[in-house]
Amino acid sequence: MDNKEFFKQLRRFHKIEKSLGVDLIDDLVGINYNSSEYYDSIWFSKDLTKENWEVLEKFVEKWSKENPEIIRQYNFLKLYPKTKMSNDGVILICPYTLGIYSCCPEYDCDTCRRKYWLGEEGEK
């Protein structure tokens, strides 16, 4: 797992962890961060030893393999496999037309559609 993917999965885990009200990673590496920059600053921490880093890395890699991301598009395509797709592989249906949004958020329709369909199931 490269660094970019590691931090993506670490942030994904943190979002789930936070929604459950637990701090598993704090317990795992023995470091308590109470800041919103926790996962951005962990890399630069003086408290994080090489051994702790290796434990964290193995944990995140194992967790991400056991808990793959399930994007909305995947579930939608299971129900409607003949859905029209764009050239870049994203469902062509605008979330607005399904009543998900009352209007497209602050970006253009293609960006909105891409962010919605490629977003993880359960995200708002």
Domain boundaries, the chain: 3-66, 72-117
pTM of the model: 0.56
All residues at 6 or more sequence positions from 3 whose CB lies less than 8 Å from its CB, including other chains: none
Short-list 67, 69, 73, 64, CA closest to 118: 73
pLDDT, mean over the chain: 78
Confidence of residue 42 (pLDDT cuts 50, 70, 90): low
Indicate whether 75 pLDDT > 80: yes
Is the model more confident about 88 or about 82? 82
- What's the whole-number mean pLDDT along residues 23-29? 67
- What's the whole-number mean pLDDT along residues 73-79? 92
Please state, in angstroms and rounded to a whole number, the distance separating the CA atoms of residues 68 and 12.
Answer: 10
pLDDT of residue 4: 87
DSSP assigned state of 8: H
Indicate whether 112 pLDDT > 60: yes
Is the model more confident about 86 or about 35? 86
